[in-house]
């Protein structure tokens, strides 16, 4: 992600509102098997502990925190609600139904409750996504999906019409929140970030495909309960996650948060469309073209709007022998641990492709450096016009591109490749120097790489805009 906390050592207490919610926990011990027993907490929070007219007061106060301006309160309430659903052995379905967490079915087998109050309040909280941190939205989404899974199983087993009704209402509310989030992201695409938006989107897509920390960890960590604004600093303590921070003043950080929220709500809509008896037209339209974003798999990568099929269509792989045939190429050299090495810079339309000539088999070569051309920036050395420096930006965890060496863009000696700290939160950077026989070849290589980078990124920006438009209408 591209936003992170200012100070890793956060010692301030959580807010007074958060303390009032946390105080509802009476410190009940864990039950055998590790699942927390919330017993009296859940009964006081959701139904009340006495027999008088004030029984509903604690429950009402708890649910009121879903509308709180403090997102810490919203997070804690989402944690309590999710825990109640998870502890089925300690909190039976009859209790959850009477508390309003699950819909109730009338004795005559009729329609039942059309929509639990708790779920409707959670969905309204999701609509305030611009003011909530990513971790809070993750907790809310997890609770809604747990409720939807319960309702889907009940519907498949012949459950009440009330469950189907509130599930459909939840879908509609989720689509509304997603539409709002898509418009918010689109404003950054059309703003001052220009095509830097593409780098932020790629980073957040990768971050979204990783499993986030659990709600229990977030609700128990003071760094999450006393959130800080993000900054350009790179530091962070063990267990810290950038999703726990508010974005700082940088537009890049706000854009990163908006994209992450959009992807989270998009996933919620897709998961809700799978629950229940059938999908609505809106659900089908929203999921058929773009698929799910559940994990870092090849299928999810193919559904990424920034996925470029032509980058993998030819089947190039690092260290693999390939036939060059009549492909245009320029002879150059790179410095390596073994000394100066000859290379062919193959003028591929979508790839930076450096091939070592095969001296045994003419017309063949071995791939030594491979990277998307859209990820490559070039700069001719002013003092040595036959030298071309390449800066390569790849997602964190991607393989190192051949002989390229990693570098820190915040402290890079080359001003052209230097970047602010908040511009490279989710990427790895590499540098490679190519030496050509003359300035003409150097300028030809520079022109090819610059032109193709601009053209491919222009196509991707248009594709991203079309992708977002599909959710805005």
Quick one: what percent of the chain has pLDDT higher than 70?
70
Q: What's the pLDDT score for residue 264?
A: 93
Lowest mean pLDDT segment, chosen from 35-39, 52-56, 87-91, 253-257: 35-39
Mean pLDDT of 436-440: 95
pLDDT at 289 > cutoff 90: no
Q: What's the pLDDT score for residue 70?
A: 85
Residue bearing the bigger pLDDT, 374 or 28: 374
Could you tell me the pLDDT band of residue 186, with boundaries at 50, 70 and 90? very high
Dig out the tokens for 410 from the structure. 């915040």
> Which positions ≥6 away from 54 have C-beta within 8 Å?
48
**This prediction's pTM:** 0.76
Q: Which of 97-106, 138-147, 209-218, 422-431 has the highest mean pLDDT?
A: 138-147
pLDDT at 73 > cutoff 60: yes
Mean pLDDT of 47-61: 55
Q: What is the DSSP string of 173-241?
A: HHHHHHHHHHHHHHHHHTSTTTTHHHHHHHHHHHHHTSPPPPHHHHHH-HHHHS--BB-S-----TT--
> Alpha-carbon Rg of the chain, whole angstroms?
27
Q: Do residues 261 and 129 lie in contact, with contact meaning Cβ atoms separated by under 8 Å?
A: yes
Q: What's the pLDDT score for residue 155?
A: 52
Distances (CA, A) of 241 to 68, 253, 254: 23, 14, 16
Could you tell me the pLDDT band of residue 229, with boundaries at 50, 70 and 90? low
Residue bearing the bigger pLDDT, 468 or 30: 468
Lowest mean pLDDT segment, chosen from 43-57, 92-106, 152-166, 449-463: 43-57
What phi and psi, each to the nearest 5 degrees, are found at residue 145? -65, -35
For 346, the enclosing helix (H) or strand (E) is: strand 339-346
Q: What's the pLDDT score for residue 67?
A: 86
Average pLDDT, the chain: 75
Could you tell me the pLDDT band of residue 451, with boundaries at 50, 70 and 90? very high
pLDDT at 12 > cutoff 60: no
Mean pLDDT of 197-211: 86
Q: What's the pLDDT score for residue 174?
A: 92
3-state helix, strand, coil in the chain (%, to 5): 50, 15, 40
Mean pLDDT of 398-403: 84
Q: Do residues 21 and 44 lie in contact, with contact meaning Cβ atoms separated by under 8 Å?
A: no
**305: buried, middle or exposed (CB in 10 Å: 19+, 13-18, 0-12)?**
middle
Q: How many other CB atoms sit within 10 Å of the CB of residue 2?
A: 27
Q: How far is residue 102's CA from residue 279's CA, in Å, rounded to a whole number?
A: 22
Q: Do residues 445 and 373 lie in contact, with contact meaning Cβ atoms separated by under 8 Å?
A: no
Secondary structure letter of residue 246 according to DSSP: B
Lowest mean pLDDT segment, chosen from 134-143, 168-177, 214-223: 214-223
Lowest mean pLDDT segment, chosen from 258-267, 344-353, 394-403, 431-440: 394-403
């Amino acid at each position: 992600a591209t936003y992170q906390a200012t100070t890793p050592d956060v010692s301030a207490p959580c807010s007074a509102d958060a303390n009032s919610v946390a105080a509802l926990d009476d410190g009940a011990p864990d039950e055998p098997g590790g699942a927390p027993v919330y017993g009296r907490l859940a009964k006081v929070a959701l139904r009340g502990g006495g027999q008088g007219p004030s029984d509903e007061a604690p429950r009402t106060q708890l649910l009121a925190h879903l509308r709180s301006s403090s997102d810490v309160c919203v997070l804690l309430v989402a944690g309590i609600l999710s825990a109640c659903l998870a502890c089925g052995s300690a909190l039976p379905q009859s209790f959850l139904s009477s508390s309003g967490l699950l819909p109730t079915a009338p004795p005559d087998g009729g329609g039942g409750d059309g929509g639990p109050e708790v779920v409707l309040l959670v969905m309204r909280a999701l609509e305030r996504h611009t003011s909530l941190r990513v971790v809070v939205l993750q907790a809310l989404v997890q609770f809604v999906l747990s409720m939807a899974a319960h309702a889907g199983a009940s519907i498949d087993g012949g459950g009440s019409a009330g469950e189907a009704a509130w599930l459909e209402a939840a879908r509609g509310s989720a689509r509304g929140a997603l539409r709002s989030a898509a418009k918010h992201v689109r404003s950054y695409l059309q703003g001052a970030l220009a095509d830097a938006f593409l780098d932020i989107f790629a980073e957040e897509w990768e971050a979204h495909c990783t499993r986030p920390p659990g709600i229990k960890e977030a609700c128990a960590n003071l760094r999450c309960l006393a959130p800080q604004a993000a900054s350009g600093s790179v530091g962070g303590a063990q267990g810290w996650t950038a999703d726990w921070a508010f974005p700082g003043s940088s537009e890049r950080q706000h854009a990163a948060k908006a994209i992450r929220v959009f992807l989270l709500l998009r996933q919620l809509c897709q998961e809700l469309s799978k629950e229940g008896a059938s999908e609505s037209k809106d659900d089908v339209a929203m999921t058929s073209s773009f698929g799910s974003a559940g994990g870092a798999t090849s299928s999810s990568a193919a559904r990424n709007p920034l996925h470029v099929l032509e980058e993998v269509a030819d089947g190039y792989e690092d260290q693999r022998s390939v036939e060059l045939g009549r492909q245009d190429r320029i002879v150059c050299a790179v410095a390596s641990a073994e000394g100066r090495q000859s290379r062919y810079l193959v003028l591929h339309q979508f790839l930076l492709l450096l091939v070592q000539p095969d001296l045994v088999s003419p017309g063949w070569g071995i791939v030594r450096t491979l990277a998307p051309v859209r990820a490559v920036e070039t700069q001719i050395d002013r003092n040595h016009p036959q030298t071309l420096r390449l800066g390569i930006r790849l997602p964190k965890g991607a393989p190192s591109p051949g002989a390229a060496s990693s570098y820190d863009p915040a402290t890079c000696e080359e001003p052209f490749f230097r970047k602010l700290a908040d511009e490279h939160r989710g990427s790895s950077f590499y540098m490679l120097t190519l030496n050509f026989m003359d300035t003409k070849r150097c300028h030809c290589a520079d022109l090819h790489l610059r032109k193709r980078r601009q053209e491919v990124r222009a196509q991707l920006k248009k594709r991203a805009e079309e992708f977002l438009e599909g959710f805005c209408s």
